[in-house]
Amino acid sequence: MSLKGRDLLSMADLEAGELMLLLEEAARFKRALRAGEVRPSLRGKLVALIFQKPSTRTRVSFEAAVRHLGGHPLNMNASEMQLGRGESISDTGRVLSRYVQAITLRTFAHREVEELAEAAEVPVINALTDLEHPCQVLADLLTIRERFGGFDGLRLAYLGDGNNVANSLALGCALAGMGFTIACPEGYEPDEDILDRARSLGGEEGVRVVRDPREAASGAHVLYTDVWVSMGQGDEERRLRDLRPYQLNGEVLELAHPDAVVMHCLPAHRGQEITDEVLDGPRSVVWEQAENRMHAQAALLHLLVGEED
């Protein structure tokens, strides 16, 4: 089983066995980094990091992962490239393929990362689009695996807006064999095509959409939320009003499994989608999630373009 030379644009690009390979490699990298024994499998390789959206965790975690593996990250702001002056995504991909060994893109429309992958001759990684955020979910699954030792019998409850993270979580949970339930108001559901794909992987009962956040949280092993107003979205007042009943707070947490953990992909709007007592509480694994972005992305880069052990 090999991911060499592949793209990762969606969690649907992976099979279950490939996901487990990635998570095992991420755990191995994490152990090696802490022991000071990381093999520089990207030595002499360049990775282009293109950002059309602001970023903290994605930028730093990718750059750190590349450097830990001995490679060289090239941070590229789209507004400072010809891309920002009208050059096509396809032309950008063709040119960069002559210079670098992998390209990551954080952008708005998912079609842009697809166009980049179609034109590029090197692996392309989706570092976030409006449709999906697969790198975040790789880190999330690594965090769950660390906490519970596996995925069998676990259920993740997502509260709030069915956004790009929720889309990738639905697919990721299905691939891992976890149950996925999202509680959201009408009109805030995840992408229907993605839900259908997730159900084909995990079964009708494994992927559910409900309206009552208490129903979703009841007995769940993981409670997950994200911001209610993402970058570029309008009508903030309406969204905040509609999503207010879906706040992840202490009352909701009490309904979950006794060993349940709290997750948030960050940045958090404290007092909106999540309360301080939960985000900073003893059942939060949010900071482990953030750290694991680097480990999961290091594993991904190693498997896509790294030198073999």
Task: Report the catalytic residues.
Answer: 106, 133, 136, 226, 265, 293
What does 33-91 look like in DSSP terms, one character per residue?
A: HHTT----TTTT-EEEEEESS--SHHHHHHHHHHHHTT-EEEEEEGGGSGGGGT--HHH
Q: Which of 101, 140, 188, 184 is nearest to 19 (CA)?
A: 140
Query: Quick check: 180 and 174 in contact, CB under 8 A?
Result: yes
- Cα distance from N-terminal residue to C-terminal residue, the chain: 15
Place of tokens 């976030």: 128
**What gap in Å lies between CA 294 and CA 59, rounded to an integer?**
10
Coil/strand/helix, residue 166: helix
Q: Which residues contact 236 (CB under 8 A, 6 or more apart)?
A: 229
- The sheet carrying 124-128 orders its strands as 72-77, 46-51, 102-106, 124-128
